[in-house]
Homo-oligomer: A and B are copies of this chain.
């Protein structure tokens, strides 16, 4: 259960665009530089994001990328879904061992876990917008108040004034 490179970097590129003012753009080169990526790699990521309608691109001199919608209206679940190619749909089709279909097809004890887990993650991500990730790490942490209360705040329960 890990966040893939594509998810991580794609999200980071979007966040760079979220920092822009209205009518501002960033070129691929600028995005790549700010995220420590190669221009080629950033290009591929932005292409995916563009195809999915999350960013708008302008070609030619003076061109660049910006968000297709305000950062307050882009939720992380949508972003992850795009960068992930709907992983849940392919799960049972992928993990078939040496056979053509999973032996548990139709009656699988762990499928409810996979589905439920995916749902939990989606739910947490759908409560967060790109706009909420702008700012310092400490501020973002506070803003998220630990993802809709699904996760505990660091101090709850063990809170002490000075430890």
Contacts and interface: CB of A to CB of B under 8 A. Distances in A.
Interface of A: 1-5, 7-9, 11-12, 15, 34-38, 41, 76, 80, 84, 87, 91, 94-99, 102-104, 106-114, 116-117, 119-121, 123-125, 128, 133-137, 140-141, 144, 146-147, 150-152
A9 to B, nearest CB: 7
Most buried by B among A97, A109, A144, A152: A109
Contact of A117 (B103, B104, B125, B133): B125
A34 B103 contact: yes
A34 to B, nearest CB: 7
A88 to B, nearest CB: 8
Contact of A109 (B36, B110, B112, B134): B134
B133 A110 contact: yes
24 contacts: A1-B4, A1-B7, A1-B121, A2-B84, A3-B117, A15-B109, A36-B98, A36-B99, A38-B98, A41-B98, A107-B136, A109-B140, A112-B137, A112-B144, A113-B125, A113-B133, A113-B140, A113-B147, A116-B146, A116-B147, A119-B152, A120-B124, A120-B147, A123-B150
Contacts of A144: 112-113, 116
A35 B103 contact: yes
Contacts of A95: 5, 8-9
